[in-house]
Each structure stands twice: as structure tokens, then as C-alpha cells.
Amino acid sequence: MHHFQYIRSKILDQTKLINKLNIAMTVTDLQGNIVIWNKGAERLYGYQFNEVYSKNIEIIYNLIEPRKFREINITKPLLEIDNLIKIIEARTNKNEIKFVEVRFSLIYDEENSPIGIVGLGSDITEKVLIQNQLRELNIELMEINKQLIESREKTIQDEKLISMGTMALNVAHELSQPLQYIINQLFLLEEENKVNADLRSPFDLINKQVNRAIQIITDLKNFGRNTSGIEFKKLNVKSIIDEVIALVDHQTHISNINIDFHLQAKHTSILGNQEQIIQVLINLLQNSIDALENQKFKNIDIKLNSTKDFLYLSVGDNGIGIKEEDISKIFEPFYTTKSYLKGTGLGLSIIQRIIQNHHGLINLYSEYGVGTKVTIQFPLHTSISNQSKNATYENSSVILHHKEISQ
């Protein structure tokens, strides 16, 4: 109490000067109890002197760090408080938050011992709010810039794909005629029985390589084909799955592969192009068949689920899976992890383009040594028909997951 009264007597001699200050001046003892509270403090914080006298200043100050005023006194040596500048969140008598920059200084007695703390505060609320707005604006601008960069990169990539597609069609066209001649000659040799036993092995090899070349040309044509203007109609995906399973039945039978089809969808109709959906299914099944080549037990699971608005088609296998370093590249044109005899690297690129045309979404889950599952989300025909004819769709996207297999 002695120090409390000493501080007041020492400072009150300069009351007029203190009240003329255009800043909020507070004086407390070392425990934070308010001794002096000038007119500037009354204007800033809204409390009259008689409302706060002898009360602890932590009722006003909330340190941003956050740390209570009293904790400063306890945790900081007194010499560190001297000339300490802090931005304070202050709560006014109307429960409003103001940001105040406060410079703290120590008060000493005749023996040069610290007995109190002076706080000189300036209202910087508007400055802080502007800084926060500028910070948020900067974050928004950075995000917009990021999106612009991504958009530009996508545009460049799209232009590359268009050029690649045009080139692919030209190459496919140029190769078709000589290959057709070779096929005809091979057929004539076979028909006329002019292939003797010594030539049978290289003849079969040539035949196999020609068939592979034909497959590459087919993939190139599909990749480069302009998909605009393709007719869409109501399709029953369940019927298409049955048809494709029948198409690959011979191949899966001789490879000892078991295919299970689980129909769990209430609605199975989408708006699409039948040829393209068949192509998607055949490519997915062929990928699974190739992945199962060296497995002891070979299983492919096909599932069809639906919600109110979407149909989900999934094709999963317990094959070799995809390595983590490869999974981000598998939808890139001409990228393949298969041997040169089996893959052109265009199958998944073609699937992606087809699903984009159908306003779909691809989820690919894979774990190396465990298997792969591809799930495709289609808008249901009923969902599309209930939407406006002028409705727009977001670009389809591919979501890749590693080590998240659940058959």
C-alpha cells in the first residue's frame, strides 16, 4: 500500500499534463493494480477512472501472444519490462476489441527500486484491420496467381495433346496401308499352306508383331479422334458390363481369371456413348488381366453402385499393383509400366478423355504387390434429365491414391 500511495503522489503532481496527453496512460503497481488512469485511457477504453481504480489491469488487456498482463510480471524479469512494446487486444466497456500498441516503462523510488509500471497506449485498431485485410487480399491474390499458372500449364498441356492427337492420326493413317499389305500377304501364305515347319516359328512371330502394330494404330486413332459431336443416348451400364464380360470370357478362361460382378445399383442408366463406354471397360479389364499374369490366384471384381445422382462403376484386381513413383504418371499419354509387347501407354489417357466427355470422375487406388481398383463416377440419366439444359459441368478430374485398396 505504501508503494501504491507513493506512485500516486509522485505522478498526480503532473495531472494536468497527463490528461492533456493524446495517448492512453495507465500506471499500475508491480502486481498490475491500477493507480493512474488518464483521460486518454478513459476515451480509449471507455472506463472512467473510478470504475477501474485499484482493479487489476488484466480486465482490460488480453495479450495477443496470448499471455495475461500478470504473467508478464511473473515470467519476465523487471528489467525486461522496461521499454517493452506490445500490441495488446483491449476490451472496452462496450465489450469491443481494440488493438493498442503499448510501451511499458518502470517507475522507480528514491532508492532506485522498481515500484510500478507505466503503459502508454496508442489506438492502432484501424491499422491492424487494414493490415489483416491486406494479408487476406495477398493470400487471395497468391491463390489466384496459382490458379492462373495451373490454368496456363493446363492450356499448354491441352495444346500439346491436340498436336499429339493430330500427329497420332497422321501416323496411324500412314502406317495402315503398308500394314494392311503385310496382313494380306501373311493371310495368303497361310491359306496357300506355303509356310513350312522351319518357317513356322518366325512366321508366327511376324504375325504377332503385326497384330501388335494394328493395336498400336487403333490406340493412336482412338487417342487422336475428335470426340465432339459424338452421339449420346440413354445407356444401361449393367447390360454393357454383361456384354464386355462375354467379350473377354475366352481370354479370362484360358488365363484362369475369375470375374465377379456385383450389382448393387438401384439405377443403372447414364447418358453416354455406348462405343466409348465399352472401350473404357475393355481397357480397364485388359489392364487387370495384364496385372494378374504372374499371380497365383487371379480375381477381378466389378461393382455397380448408385446414389440419388450418381452411378459408380469399379473394376478391381489383386494383381501386381502400381509403384508409388509411377502412380502420378499413369494417365500421361504414352506412359506405360507394361512390357513393350503389351502396352502403348494410351489406354488410361483414352479412358480419361472419355470420362471427361461423360462429365465423370475417376478414382484410382493402388498398392504395389496388392492390387488396383478404379472407380468411375457417372451422373445418372435421371439426375441429368432433371437439370437445366443450360447446366454446365466442371472438368472431370482424376484422383490418385496409393496404399488404399479395399476390394
Q: Please choose, from the candidates 338, 354, 214, 212, the residue with its C-alpha nearest in 3D space to the C-alpha of residue 281.
A: 354
State whether 52 and 175 are in the same domain.
Answer: no
Question: Burial, 316: exposed, middle or buried (Cβ in 10 Å; 0-12, 13-18, 19+)?
Answer: buried
> How many domains does one find in the chain?
3
Q: In sequence order, what DSSP letters do the residues of 134-167 get, joined into one string?
A: HHHHHHHHHHHHHHHHHHHHHHHHHHHHHHHHHH
Residue 137 counted as domain residue: no
Residue 130 counted as domain residue: no
CATH number at residue 108: 3.30.450.20
State whether 273 and 377 are in the same domain.
Answer: yes
- Predicted local distance difference test score (pLDDT) of residue 299: 93
State whether 159 and 94 are in the same domain.
Answer: no
Torsion angle of the four alpha carbons 19, 21, 25, 29, in this order, in degrees rounded to the nearest 10: -60
Specify whether the CB–CB gap between 269 and 241 falls below 8 A. no
- Predicted local distance difference test score (pLDDT) of residue 401: 58
State whether 101 and 182 are in the same domain.
Answer: no
- What pTM was computed for the model? 0.47
**What is the span of the domain harbouring residue 335?**
233-402
The low-confidence residues of the chain, meaning pLDDT below 70, are 1-21, 62-81, 153-174, 190-195, 197-199, 212, 215-230, 333-347, 382-407
State whether 298 and 392 are in the same domain.
Answer: yes
State whether 386 and 271 are in the same domain.
Answer: yes
Q: How far is CA 375 from the centre of its chain?
A: 18
- Predicted local distance difference test score (pLDDT) of residue 340: 45
Residue 407 counted as domain residue: no
3-state DSSP helix/strand/coil percent for the chain, to nearest 5?
A: 45, 25, 30
Q: Please choose, from the candidates 151, 149, 131, the residue with its C-alpha nearest in 3D space to the C-alpha of residue 139.
A: 131
Q: Which three cell numbers stand for residue 258?
A: 475369375
Q: In this predicted model, what pLDDT tens digit does every residue of 381-398 receive, in sequence order?
A: 765 555 444 333 444 455
Q: In this predicted model, what pLDDT tens digit does every residue of 245-293 receive, in sequence order?
A: 988 888 888 889 999 999 988 888 999 888 888 888 988 998 899 889 8
Residue 77 counted as domain residue: yes
